[in-house]
Amino acid sequence: MTKALYIKTYGCQMNVYDSARMIDVLAPLGYAPVEDPDGADLVILNTCHIREKAAEKVYSELGRLRDLRGARKRTGGPDMTIAVAGCVAQAEGKEMLRRAPHVDLVFGPQTYHRLPELLAQVHRARAGGGNAPGRGVLDTEFPVESKFDHLPEAVASQGPSAFLSIQEGCDKFCTFCVVPYTRGAEFSRPVGEVIAEAERLAAAGAREITLLGQNVNAYHGAPPPNSAGARPWGLGRLIRRLAEIEGLDRLRYTTSHPRDMDDELIAVHGQVEKLMPYLHLPVQSGSDRILEAMNRRHSADDYRRAVERLRRARPGIALSSDFIVGFPGETDSDFAETLRLITDIGFAQAYSFKYSARPGTPAGTLSAQVPEAVKVERLASLQSLLDAQQEGFNQGSVGQGMPVLLERPGRKTGQLVGRSPYMQAVHVAAPANYLGQIVNVRIAATGPKSLSGRLIEDPVVGRSEASGTMAVEVHP
């Protein structure tokens, strides 16, 4: 009998990918994804610990699930298993079982290949009357075996635009960031495994693949068995190889570190047409003093130079970034440096955050924390500058024709939504069977966060894909 599985995903695209893989792991056990927790037999919250707000959302969702489960019990309905995965699970472990005693299972990002066994433990405990509140099953190890060696082949369709995790973890230890603690040490999947998964995704209808990693351009995967030489492949070389896969038309990668933009990768931006002319390259701050305190190990000018090299290789490349305001010790003049960097570079879009002190990180205990009111003010002025740049970039698209990969139905009937090469969301009137196609669109107008246009010509309709079945709340 099919069992209903509801997965809610928070945070980064890496979690979106992990959730898709959990669906793959659970499919042989009879679980099929549903879009609502109401009738679910198993609920998994795949969580994010990057900022305090993200972590807190999990507890309010757990409160709602407790009520839902209670209501079901009272009406004699079937029981529900509640599991928490991802980075909050990893960071809090036992503490989470104490704070939310109705949770049955807590497991980290490196152990979800063990889900069948973990669920069996939950059910055994339940059958033996042993799943009293607070007695949930916990697995937050960093196992020596790689989960990738124990996952089934990816089968859950991700639609026309798919994610593929190629690298995980981080050894950079920026002083504000929990990732090195929640995701562990840097690890690159072997090239052969990545190619095989990319080929499967393409065969299942993906036209675009975004290669994922916390530090994706630090990728150094073991070479495929038949390749000359035993040296690991960098991201540039991997992209050249993936671009040979038939049916795949677009490649992207995220998230990168400025220090790892090597010559080969920059050259690939100029030479591989399938690599989209858009790059998310977080800089965090424009002040050298703050960059140093963040342990970013590059200066603002290093960043400017990296962008210059990229623009020389691929004129017109659009840039996106992440910014943190109110890092401990940030002065008005440090902040002014950040605004200056933004003005110098010109971003097509960006994500910006107030610094959030995270437990266990070096910056979390610094005494010079910036008052909330100052953070709020700085965030507002930073965002108004970034919004103006984004609007300017989008305005520049009006009148242009560009290829758009249609990914999902729009809100209005008869409308589909897709992405331009520059990651802009584009709304266009098109028949539903155009989903999964790359169509040429003349951009007619821009809204605050998206564009709209009309079809220039009919695409060749050959593929169509259902859109995803997961609830997602993602940040960059």
Exactly one of 284, 397, 437, 452 binds ligand 5AD (CB under 6 A); that residue is 284
Q: Parallel, antiparallel, or unpaired for β 3-11 and 31-33?
A: parallel
Q: Rule CB under 6 A: say whether 356 interacts with ligand 5AD.
A: yes
The dihedral of CA 10, 15, 20, 23: what is its sign?
negative
Identity of the residue, 328 or 410, whose beta carbon is nearer to ligand 5AD in the bound complex: 328
Residue keyed to tokens 């068995």: 225
Cβ 257 to ligand SF4, closest distance in Å?
Answer: 5
The b-or-e profile of 221-230 (16+ CB within 10 A means b, else e) is bbbeeeeeee
Structure token pair of residue 219: 């990728």
Where in 355-437 does DSSP place strands (E)? 401-409, 415-419, 425-429
β 81-85/105-107 pair status: parallel
Find the shortest distance in angstroms from Cβ 214 to ligand SF4: 4
Q: Shortest gap between Cβ of 122 and ligand 5AD (angstroms)? A: 32
| Separation of alpha carbons 134 and 447, rounded Å | 49
Interface pick for ligand SF4 out of 15, 188, 215, 452 (rule CB under 6 A): 215
Residue ranges in 149-178 that form contacts with ligand SF4 under rule CB under 6 A: 170, 172-174, 177
Q: What is the nearest approach in angstroms of ligand SF4 to the Cβ of residue 242?
A: 23
Structure-block tokens of residue 234: 């960098």
Candidates 188, 183, 197; CA nearest to 24 is 197
- Among 26, 40, 84, 179, contact with ligand SF4 (rule: CB under 6 A): 179
Q: CA 170, CA 167: separation in Å to the nearest integer?
A: 9
Whole-angstrom distance, CA of residue 362 vs CA of residue 177: 9
Residues in the chain: 476
What string marks each residue from 28 to 67 as x (binds ligand 5AD by CB under 6 A) or -? ----------------------xx----------------
Cα separation, 76 vs 39, whole angstroms: 13
Measured from the CB atom, the residue of 259 and 289 that comes closer to ligand SF4 is 259
CB-count exposure of residue 117 (10 Å: 0-12, 13-18, 19+):
exposed
Q: Is 253 in the site for ligand 5AD (CB under 6 A)?
A: no
Residue placing its CB nearer to ligand 5AD in the complex, 25 or 325: 325
**Any bridge partners for residue 406, and if so which?**
418
324 binds, among ligand SF4, ligand 5AD, none (CB under 5 to 8 A by kind): ligand 5AD
In angstroms, the CA 220 to CA 166 distance is: 10
- From the list ligand 5AD, ligand SF4, none, which binds 214 (C-beta under 5 to 8 Å, kind-based)? ligand SF4
The verdict on 213 binding ligand SF4 (CB under 6 A) reads: no
Q: Where are the alpha helices (DSSP H) in 83-130?
A: 86-92, 94-99, 115-127
Residue nearest to ligand 5AD (CB): 322
Point out which span in 104-112, 165-173, 350-358, 425-433 binds ligand 5AD (CB under 6 A). Answer: 350-358
31/163 with CB nearer ligand SF4:
163
From ligand SF4, ligand 5AD, none, which one binds at residue 356 (CB under 5 to 8 Å depending on kind)? Answer: ligand 5AD
Closest contact distance (angstroms) between CB of 20 and ligand SF4 is: 21
Instruction: Catalog residues that contact ligand 5AD under the rule CB under 6 A.
Output: 50-51, 176-177, 282, 284, 322, 324, 353, 355-356, 358, 476
What residues make contact with ligand SF4 under the rule CB under 6 A? Answer: 170, 172-174, 177, 179-180, 214-215, 257
